[in-house]
Amino acid sequence: MPRNLRRFIAILEVGGGVLGVFLILTIPVQLSGLVALLFLCILVAIGLSCAGGVLLWQGKPLGESLSVISQAFQVPVLYGTGFTYLCHIGLGLNIYLGPEAGIRFYLHIGTAYAASLQGAEEAPALGINVIAASVLFCLLMYANSSGEQRVPAPGSA
1 vs 3: CA distance, rounded Å? 6
Position 41 scores a pLDDT of: 79
pLDDT for 103 beyond 50: yes
Position 144 scores a pLDDT of: 64
Position 149 scores a pLDDT of: 39
Enter the pTM of the model: 0.80
Position 139 scores a pLDDT of: 93
What is the mean pLDDT of the segment spanning 81-106? 85
Lowest mean pLDDT among 2-16, 32-46, 87-101: 32-46
- pLDDT-based confidence at 32, cuts 50/70/90? low
* C-beta of residue 46 within 8 angstroms of C-beta of residue 83: no
Amino acid at 29: V
Q: Which of 91, 77, 72 is closest to 122 using CA atoms?
A: 77
The H-or-E segment that residue 124 falls in is: none
pLDDT for 129 beyond 50: yes
pLDDT for 157 beyond 80: no
134 vs 131: CA distance, rounded Å? 5
